[in-house]
Chain A
Amino acid sequence: MAHVAQLELVQETPFRWRIEQHGEMRVPGRVFASSALLPDIATDEALRQVANVATLPGIVEASYAMPDVHWGYGFPIGGVAATDVAAGGVLSPGGVGFDISCGVRLLVSQLSDRDIAPHLSALMDSLSRSIPRGMGKGAVWSLGSADELADVMRNGAAYAVAHGFGSDADLARCEDGGTMAGAEPDAVSERARSRGLLQLGSLGSGNHFLEVQAVDTIYDPAVAKRLGLFSGQICVMIHCGSRGLGHQICSDQVKAMGSAMVRYGISVPDRQLACVPVESVEGRSYLGAMAAAANYAQANRQVLAAAARKAFFDSIGTHEIDLLYDLSHNLAKIETHDIDGTPHQLCVHRKGATRALPPGHTDLPADLREVGQPVLVPGSMGTASYVLAGLQPGGAFFSACHGAGRALSRHQAKRKIRGADLRAQLENAGITVRASSVQGLAEEAPFAYKDVDEVVATCELAGLARRIARLRPVGVVKG
């Protein structure tokens, strides 16, 4: 048993801990963590936030925390919570996060690390020119009008493909086929639209990146082959979301729900947990706006992928770059899951957590149904990333981790190393860096994050997802 502030943690299995139900909690907390990860998790506010989420009306089973959980606002980052729609279960924008549908896409080439070694510098220069990032640096696609933005919000990656950014084959490998149903652009405020108009096809800053990676370990050769992965293969990972549009939608909706909650007799321990019943006017409005932002995010990653493909062609002459998968790790979805042996319609919030459907799940495209859903786990800059796959019986409503998870604040990271020194260290380790801000680079230093190898191993040992392949960074483009 371990104690964190006033929270009592009881070890249920070697890789799962329970926060005992107390006070206003309606369900216990459940934290997936190894003994090595637990001290970091216990030192910030994340566990208190896991307990706060357990107070939400209609929550079922438990308030879950993934192995990469860390301090967020309202929900922890790395939190999963499901509410029973028919039982008055609530929907909380804080359970999705500011960056609605922040996510990851992985593209795979037919080139090996040896093939690109002589061209790496030219490739990174080409990517650096092609991928807008940082503040006020523009975007790949200048949308011509508010109507065009509304089309993006309705149709997502499919709209980008229809305008020449990629192919239909890409859409088959996007969660929801590249378009989340139910988008309501009319539920998006004018301010959110004005932020979205200028940013389609841009990375942003913070922890978002585009990386050129090489497959360095294969754990399951048969599944890796089915996914088109081979040892030494050059891949491109893109990590970004719905930019200012999604952030503004979250801000607007948290405020609106904060005012509306009282009408539903709901109170929460943290303003960022503002929520309303899924089946309410405000709940439906949020779902429509959230889907609009999710479509914007999917279109954003689709457009960036097209820019990356062009950079590969310009510098190396290859067009053969296929999409392995695109997923969101900040989203709420209406899903059916068994609770006590009975199917229930649940609103599953995953904030900094990835859906991880097992083999055979009917929501998977036919060519992935045998292997399970790919789960893409970006490491921090300079460390490994992973391809996992969902498995049975899974856990936390088929969810897994979303990254390494921060261990040090940006402040602490900047005190430990200068950006220029970090860049030199990465270059010495064979990782080419193209950053828009050298100072910003230090904030994302690898030591500011938890050990992604430990996070992923814990996911596997806890039965959430299994390892398929490990990717090492070769080149980094950062905002």
Chain B
Amino acid sequence: MPGDIGYRVLPHTADTRIEAWAPARAACLEAAVRALVSTFADVTAAEATDSIEESFAESTDEDLLVAVLEQVIYLVEVVGVVPVTVDFVDEKAGRLAGSFAVAPLEAVEICGPAPKAIALSDLVFEDRDNKWRCLVTIDV
């Protein structure tokens, strides 16, 4: 895992698997969102035109990870936007405040199949000595 914060896309026979890591939970979730977006869109040249705020209150870290990534799918499918940058802040009692800076879908270059769901199989979101790491399979 090169660098303190990062992500990569891993092989999976039918779908897509991503890995993300960071020193803190919120930063790891941000990296996971970037990883998910990278599987279907190139946002390097895209400019955000709006910001969408969302708060998450799941009972476990794994469920929080799933909820955050499912929100990306919802934004793409229903709102028609792609997150260009994200900013997450940990709040009390495990809650998370999220800000998604988004660009219209038609303004980004599509480079892969649309993500449609987050699988719970082989889902990992763990903290080992302040090194957060997640592994997620995405149905496409």
Contact = CB atoms under 8 A, between A and B. Distances in A.
Interface of A: 44, 70-74, 77, 98-99, 134-136, 191, 194-195, 198-199, 204-206, 244, 247-248, 250-251, 254-255, 258, 270-272, 274, 406-412, 436-437, 439-440, 443, 479
Q: How large is the interface on B (under 10, 10 to 19, 20 to 34, 35 or more residues)?
A: 35 or more
Contact of A244 (B12, B15, B77, B112): B77
B14 A406 contact: yes
A70 B112 contact: no
B139 A98 contact: yes
Given A195-B77, A410-B16, A443 B113 contact: yes
Contacts of B111: 437, 439-440
24 contacts: A73-B15, A73-B120, A98-B116, A98-B117, A135-B40, A136-B77, A191-B74, A195-B74, A244-B73, A244-B77, A251-B117, A270-B121, A270-B122, A271-B121, A272-B119, A407-B13, A410-B15, A411-B11, A411-B12, A439-B110, A439-B111, A440-B110, A440-B112, A479-B113
B89 interface: no
B110 A437 contact: yes
Interface string B1-30: 000000001111111100000000000000
B107 to A, nearest CB: 11
B130 to A, nearest CB: 26
Nearest to B119: A73
A407 B106 CA distance: 32
Contacts of A204: 114, 116
Interface in B93-130: 105-106, 110-114, 116-123
Given A71-B12, A409-B11, A134 B78 contact: no
Interface string B58-79: 0000010000001001101110
A182 to B, nearest CB: 23
A152 B122 CA distance: 35
Contact of A406 (B13, B70, B77): B13
Nearest to A195: B77
Contact of B70 (A73, A99, A251, A437): A251
B105 A135 contact: yes
B140 interface: yes
A77 B76 CA distance: 26
B11 A412 contact: yes
A73 B113 contact: no
A77 B118 CA distance: 16
Contacts of A73: 15, 119-122, 137, 139
Most buried by A among B74, B106, B110, B118: B110
Given A135-B76, A439-B112, A440-B110, A258 B120 contact: yes
Contact of A198 (B11, B78, B116, B118): B78
Contacts of B10: 411
A206 B13 contact: no
Nearest to B13: A71
A101 B91 CA distance: 40
Nearest to A206: B113
Contacts of B9: 411
A250 B73 CA distance: 14
A124 to B, nearest CB: 21
Contact of B14 (A72, A205, A250): A72
A258 B66 CA distance: 14
Nearest to B78: A194
Most buried by A among B11, B63, B116, B137: B116
Contact of A134 (B110, B116, B120, B137): B110
Most buried by A among B13, B70, B118, B121: B13
Contacts of A274: 120
Contacts of A136: 76-77, 80, 105-106
Given A98-B117, A258-B120, A440-B113, 4 more contacts: A99-B116, A244-B77, A272-B121, A411-B9
B77 to A, nearest CB: 5
Contacts of B114: 134-135, 204-206, 479
Contacts of A195: 74, 77-78
Contacts of B70: 251
A244 B74 CA distance: 9
B101 to A, nearest CB: 18
A231 to B, nearest CB: 34
B137 A205 contact: no
A258 B137 CA distance: 18
Given A72-B14, A99-B116, A410-B16, A271 B123 contact: yes
A108 B137 CA distance: 38
B42 to A, nearest CB: 9
A205 B14 CA distance: 13
A408 B80 CA distance: 31
